[in-house]
Chains A and B, each alone.
Chain A
Amino acid sequence: GAVVSQHPSWVICKSGTSVKIECRSLDFQATTMFWYRQFPKQSLMLMATSNEGSKATYEQGVEKDKFLINHASLTLSTLTVTSAHPEDSSFYICSARDLGDSSYEQYFGPGTRLTVT
């Protein structure tokens, strides 16, 4: 149980275009999902906390107008990278908390590799 999927697993886009990444909790409900960015051989950097039915909370230094987050249901959060540039190329990972779990555990998706040309 507690599986999180991401789609697509990898995407290549041209500079200036927008890309949407989906994060789904497959067998549990998640009021809270998290979006991370991971650079090669580096740790995960939290970008934002996605809350179902309300606005996302962004970490300091993350442009909310560039990284649009929508959490419209208890099983789906989306991250849209708007007007992508080569420096946005990275590995984006989402995680989710089980609504019915009182612990702090998060379940991670497999990640999405974004390459902006």
Chain B
Amino acid sequence: AQRVTQPEKLLSVFKGAPVELKCNYSYSGSPELFWYVQYSRQRLQLLLRHISRESIKGFTADLNKGETSFHLKKPFAQEEDSAMYYCALSVEGSNYKLTFGKGTLLTVNP
């Protein structure tokens, strides 16, 4: 079965510093990878997905099949980036189910 690992439960950085949230997955095929974000008291929302290869709010994520990773990066963190970030994957034939990692709480300090 597929699995998503986010090794950091908490991550704290200062405003303007680079930030990287790690995500590793285990799946033998080609999954579709996502990053979801949950701001305080708001619903979960899609931040980005690997197939679109876009940058949202300054965040990027590159799928590295060799390392089975999909780390989320931003060169200059902002206070409004403070939130819970979840990495998730979906695989073909799973009826579009998402498997979530445990999440990383990012705090950007002023």
Contacts and interface: CB of A to CB of B under 8 A. Distances in A.
B37 to A, nearest CB: 11
Interface residues on A, range: 20 to 34
Contacts of A44: 44, 86, 100
B86 A97 contact: no
Contact of B96 (A42, A104, A109): A104
A111 B98 contact: no
A104 B98 contact: yes
A40 to B, nearest CB: 12
B15 interface: no
Given A44-B100, A49-B97, A111-B43, 5 more contacts: A42-B102, A43-B100, A51-B95, A57-B95, A108-B45
A92 to B, nearest CB: 13
Interface in A23-61: 32, 34, 42-44, 46, 49, 51, 57
B94 to A, nearest CB: 9
Interface of B: 32, 34, 36, 42-46, 49, 51, 86, 90, 95-103
A106 interface: yes
A111 B102 CA distance: 18
Contacts of B46: 105-107
Contacts of A43: 86, 100-103
A105 B34 contact: yes
B34 A93 contact: no
A95 B36 CA distance: 13
A34 B98 contact: yes
Contacts of B43: 93, 108-111
B2 to A, nearest CB: 12
Query: Which residue of B34, B95, B97 has the most chain A CB atoms within 10 A of its CB atom?
Result: B97
A106 B98 contact: yes
A59 B44 CA distance: 21
